[in-house]
Structure 1
Amino acid sequence: MEQLSQNRRRALQTLGLGAGAALLNTKASGVGVAKKSAPPFKYSLNMSTIRGQQLGFIKEIQTAAAAGFTSVEIWLDTFQVFLQNGGTTKEAHKIISDLGVTVENAIGFAPWISDNANARKDALATLQHQMNLLAEIKCHRIAAPPAGATGLPKIDLDVITERYRAVLNLGDRTGVKPMLEMWGGSHNLKKISEVLYVAAASEHKDAAILLDAFHIYKGGSSLNSLPLVGKNAIEVFHINDYPPAISPEKISEPDRVYPGNGVAPLKEILQIIKNPDKPVILSLEVFNENYYKQDALQVAKTGLAKMKAITQGI
């Protein structure tokens, strides 16, 4: 408990003095050094967006590439079905590489945060296995959402910090970075302030946060919290939009729409999160049933066009 208290004090001191930026690996730029500006964003397709078409792992990657994406976020269940059906990581990597695509992140739901010790132990073993597979296809990130603890009770943030640190330690061994994902509909890790605290208190060089326009609204976070997150803590951001007149309490995943088709303050969000040192990966993540009824390639092309339009001039 003394260690937990020390973690809390150090995290709060960090937030007060540097708004979390220093502890989250923000580096000062050299004074007077001219820097070549890089594009502020890199466009990625999260396979949730065409998941309803049930294309399978390889076809999803091919569809993303055909639509013009050079980056993707895969879902681990689809990837594992590919492997179970006789595919190999070597084969997957070659296909991905030949298509000119980079797998930026993987979406999975191992309950590393659970209060159940046995479930947590199994989750860490699952994560290590998944991370090893991802490393073989050159994917160096994995989402770490609060799966397994979306209901009550609320778990103390210092306890979550210890559990997240255990996942970060797996990342040290596998070379795959676990990004702490905020879920606005969860009782745990539903707000920017909560994931920021855990990432800062972990005191780990690879601590990172995975945020989402929909979940910022769903969880009731203020955009005033967003600038407090260190630039280097946001490598991937889930971009989407939502329609007007649906309250945070009632809005749900299928309500997500293309960027620019709703009322989310995307321009403001993007201005805040853009990083002058490296592009932020914007990954289109929607679960829209109407899009699932359409041709997957057309959905992907439309999504990419919408992303480029919303980032114009930022």
Structure 2
Amino acid sequence: MLKASDTMIDLSFNRRTALKALSLSAGAALLKLPASAKGPVEKPSPAFKYSLNMSTIRGQKLGFVKELETASKAGFSSVEIWIDTFQGYLQQGGSVTEARRIIHDLGIEVENAIGFAKWIVDDEATRKAGLEQLQREMEQLAQIGCKRIAAPPMGANGSNAPLIDLNVVTERYLTILEMGKNTGVMPILEMWGGSPNLKKISQVLYVITESGHKDARVLMDTFHIFKGGSNPDSMAFVGKDAVDIFHINDYPAGITPGKISEPDRIYPGDGIAPLKQMLQHIKHPGKPVIISLEVFNNNYYQQDALLVAKTGLAKMKAATEGI
């Protein structure tokens, strides 16, 4: 014969068992909810950001503000400006405050600036002047929100320029990296294929790795990789974190590295450069890489700047399709 206490224990046990079963069933049901009921699914970030280097419309002589407006109208949200154009704007009465407002209102991000300070040269007086110039430029750029400045081998790029030991280049690059750390505008080591110094991927790679600096970056370029005789597959050895920006363009068939010159640059996809292969090498799994259209084509300079910018953007998107 069952006791009252036994009945209470059984009822309690059955209640707990039922509640547990209900809980498990509810959990299982939740796990089987359709995707639409689980909240928004985060889309992967795009692999590339499209930028306009103002070299591409430099020949139209629009001036600093109209260049920015043209880039914005064409659909670019990122640009690379040229230091001399920006300083010309300031000398003609513009201000960094006004420039920052214009950039903000246009929804443009100034990713980098193209400058030519002689930070790398052996001559001490020239290098000191170059460092002072670079310091001024970094301070100006910081005020308009620009994050980077190109650091090419300016002054050590003539055909008769002496070779500078890469360990010396590394020390000098470390000097300007510290300047960048203090100003918030980081110098990117730029390779120039026609220069005796920093003409190859292997050379800029040596400098940034030997520096050991967390902010060291390299600026490669389709044209300069070809001009300097680097194998495009060497790009695979450059750490993906070392590439923030890549200058994209193309070059025609039937011209050798020794003969090709800046005006021979053409739109991406209009030549024979292995662009898909190059872009695959620099694609970063965790962040978009900025690809910036840099050409100096005299035929394009004869055309409407907005048309050139729009055409360039369309060609860039086509080049990155499927990567």
TM-score, length-scaled by structure 1: 0.88
- Structure 2 Cα separation of the partners of residues 123 and 153 of structure 1: 18
Q: How does 1:259-274 map to 2 (within 5 A)?
A: 259-274=268-283
Q: Residue 142 of structure 1 contacts residue 179 of structure 1 at CA under 8 Å; is this kept in 2?
A: yes
Deviation digits for residues 121-151 of structure 1 (CA, Å, limit 9, x no counterpart): 0111111110011110100100000000013
In the alignment, does 2:62 pair up with 1:55? yes
- Write the deviation string for residues 233-271 of structure 1: whole angstroms up to 9, x where unpaired: 000000000000100000000000000000000000011
| CA distance in 1 between partners of 2:252 and 2:312 (Å) | 16
Aligned equivalent of 1:145: 152
Over 4 Å off, 4+ runs: none
Alignment of 1:179-258 (within 5 A): 179-258=188-267
Q: Distance in 2 between matches of 1:124 and 1:252?
A: 29
- Correspondence for 1:288: 297
3-state secondary structure, aligned to 2:250: coil
- Match among 82, 86, 89 for residue 82 of structure 1: 89
What RMSD in Å do the two structures reach over aligned CA positions? 1.1
Cα distance between partner residues in 1 of 2:255 and 2:88: 36
Instruction: With a CA cutoff of 8 Å and minimum separation of 6, indicate the structure with the bigger relative contact order.
Output: 1
Residue matched to 2:35: none
Q: What letter is aligned with 1:238?
A: H
2:224 aligned partner, one-letter code: H
Corresponding position: 1:159 with 2:159? no
Indicate the residue corresponding to 1:95 in structure 2: 102
| Deviation (angstroms), 1:285 | 0.0
Which residue of the partner structure matches residue 28 of structure 2?
A: none
- Deviation of 1:56 after TM superposition, in Å, equals 0.2
* 1:110 alignment partner in structure 2: 117
Q: What residue is the counterpart of 2:135 in the other structure?
A: 128
Distance 2:167 2:208 in 1: 10
Paired residue type of 1:146: P
Does the 8 A contact of 1:37 with 1:276 survive in 2?
no
Query: How far did residue 224 of structure 1 move?
Result: 2.7
Q: C-alpha distance in 1, partners of 2:58/2:122?
A: 30
Deviation at 1:36, TM superposition (A): 5.7
In 1: Cα distance, 2:300 partner to 2:106 partner: 24
Name the aligned partner's letter for residue 270 of structure 1.
Answer: L
Q: Which runs of 5+ in 1 are unaligned?
A: 1-33
Deviation by residue 1:152-197 (Cα, 9 ceiling, x = unmatched): 3111000111111111010011011100000000000000000000
- SS at 1:179 equivalent: strand
Which of 316, 319, 323 lines up with 1:307 in the alignment?
316
1:45 matched to 2:52: yes
Supply the distance in 1 between the matched residues of 2:228 and 2:297 (Cα, whole angstroms): 19
User: Compared with structure 1, are the counterparts of its residues 180 and 35 closer, same or farther at alpha carbon in structure 2 (3 Å cutoff)?
Assistant: farther
Report the residue type matching 1:78 in the other structure.
Answer: T
CA distance in 2, matches of 1:279, 1:239: 15
Structure 2, unmatched stretches of 5+, are 1-40
Work out whether residues 237 and 281 of structure 1, in 8 Å CA contact, stay in contact via their aligned partners in 2.
Answer: yes
In the aligned structure 1, how far is the partner of 2:235 from the partner of 2:96?
Answer: 37
Greater C-alpha radius of gyration: 2
Give deviations 1:87-107, integer Å, cap 9, x for gaps. 011100100110000000000
Please tell me whether the aligned partners of residues 52 and 292 of structure 1 are also in contact (alpha carbons under 8 angstroms): yes
> Contact 1:38–1:276 (CA<8 Å) still a contact in 2?
no
Q: Classify the secondary structure of the residue corresponding to 1:131.
A: helix
Counterpart of 2:203 in 1: which secondary structure? helix
TM-score, normalised via structure 2 length: 0.86
